[in-house]
């Protein structure tokens, strides 16, 4: 090998190494450049370049659950990286900038994340068959407990707003319902269903009294209710397409399903008086698949992230989902989440986290 070639390789290696993230907690790079195609309803307030490739689907058989999770007021944003680490963005005391931290501890790819309302607890599910509960104390995150019991990879996790109830779904075809007592979680119920591909998506409502589990490959939806401190299956339904994302409203009586299809990418289901669940509204004739769908706090609006480079907001009006505004992105939107103050946080382009404000007239 020539001396010139050796020098070139060494220089390239040095550049690559200098681009790697350090183990410290560096500030997140922020891009103040606004999109040239801002919506008339929504304005890009902040774009943060994390420097980490987010939301790759390594080690996964199906698409995952929400890849962003927010604490109330959006002071803490949690994001999947596609590997065994989890990215945590915490707002600094100035109220504007964020610092970046990582949660390390899983031996397999992290497949799902959740956070409680006050932002003091994060739950992660992994291909290593475990879920981990992380607690924040004096600005540091530590693993408080590792939840074992699933025999195959965990595909989805969800938690109640107070963080005292959890549900996990696994490719071992089970859902596990967990409850906290004395600062420790224990499994209260294991529900097994003979569904192809296992339970790939789970969701809890804010109060932790309603839950939904989905077998995306098996095209089956299971509805659970907590009554007298006991979980029971109250209804199940078939769907005609693989599901990419689910979300319950605060009350737990409305469900969003985002599908792996273009013709009807999103459906809104509601529980009827007889206990059954039926589709009552949908978004149709889109040019791209939906990656995620999420309610706002009041349940009267939803935000949908599309893989074609936009997030769209819809009003929930009886049996209709009425388009009200777009949040344009230059690249695909992998996740879009409402904050409780009405702002929206999106993940796009592989390593960007964006915060949007509604335009004030």
For every residue of 174-193, DSSP letters joined together read EEEEEEEETTEEEEEEEEE-
Beta bridge partners of 145: 133
Checking if the pLDDT of 288 tops 90, the result is: no
| CATH numbers and ranges of domains, the chain | 29-358 (2.130.10.10)
Residue 11 host element (H or E): helix 3-19
**CB contact at 8 A, 264 and 258:** no
In this structure, are strands 290-295 and 277-283 parallel, antiparallel, or unpaired?
A: unpaired
55: helix, strand or coil: coil
What percent of the chain is predicted at pLDDT more than 70? 84
Checking if the pLDDT of 58 tops 80, the result is: no
Checking if the pLDDT of 66 tops 70, the result is: no
> What does the pLDDT read at residue 361?
66
| Residues 8-30: tens digit of each pLDDT | 434 434 333 333 333 344 444 44
Listed in sequence order, the residues at least 6 apart from 45 whose beta carbon sits closer than 8 Å to its beta carbon are: 343, 355, 356, 357
Does residue 208 come out as left (phi exceeding 0), alpha (psi in the -120 to 50 range) or beta? left
DSSP string covering 263-321, please?
Answer: SS-EEEEEE-TTS-EEEEEEE-S-SS-EEEEEE-TTSSEEEEEETTTEEEEEEEETTEE
Beta bridge partners of 72: none
């Amino acid at each position: 090998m020539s001396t010139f070639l050796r020098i070139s390789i060494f220089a390239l290696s040095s550049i690559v190494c200098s681009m790697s993230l350090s183990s410290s907690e560096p500030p997140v790079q922020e891009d103040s450049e606004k999109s040239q195609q801002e919506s008339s309803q929504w304005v890009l307030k902040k774009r943060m370049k994390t420097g980490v490739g987010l939301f790759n689907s390594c080690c996964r058989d199906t698409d995952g659950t929400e890849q962003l999770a927010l604490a109330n007021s959006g002071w803490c944003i949690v994001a999947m990286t596609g590997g065994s680490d989890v990215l945590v963005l915490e707002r600094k005391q100035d109220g504007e900038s964020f610092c970046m931290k990582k949660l390390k501890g899983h031996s397999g790819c992290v497949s799902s994340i959740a956070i409680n309302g006050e932002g003091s607890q994060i739950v992660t599910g992994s291909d290593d068959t475990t879920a981990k509960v992380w607690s924040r104390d004096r600005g540091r995150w530590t693993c408080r407990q590792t939840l074992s019991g699933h025999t195959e990879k965990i595909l989805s996790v969800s938690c109640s707003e107070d963080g005292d109830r959890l549900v996990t779904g696994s490719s071992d075809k089970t859902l596990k319902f967990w409850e906290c007592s004395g600062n420790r979680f224990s499994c209260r119920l294991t529900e097994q269903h003979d569904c192809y591909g296992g339970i790939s998506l789970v969701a809890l409502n804010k109060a932790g009294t309603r839950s939904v589990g989905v077998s995306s490959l098996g095209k089956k939806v299971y509805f659970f209710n907590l009554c007298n401190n006991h979980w029971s299956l109250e209804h199940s339904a078939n769907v005609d397409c693989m599901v990419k994302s689910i979300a319950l409203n605060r009350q737990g009586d409305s469900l969003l399903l985002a599908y792996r299809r273009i013709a009807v990418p999103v459906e809104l289901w509601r529980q009827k008086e007889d206990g059954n669940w039926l589709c009552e509204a949908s978004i149709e004739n889109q040019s791209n698949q939906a990656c995620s769908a999420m309610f706002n706090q009041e349940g009267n609006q939803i935000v949908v992230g599309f893989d074609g480079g936009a997030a769209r907001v819809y009003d929930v009006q009886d049996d209709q989902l009425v388009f009200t505004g777009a949040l344009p992105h230059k690249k695909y939107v992998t996740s879009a989440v409402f904050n409780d103050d009405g702002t929206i946080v999106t993940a796009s382009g592989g390593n960007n986290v964006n915060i949007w404000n509604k335009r004030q007239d």
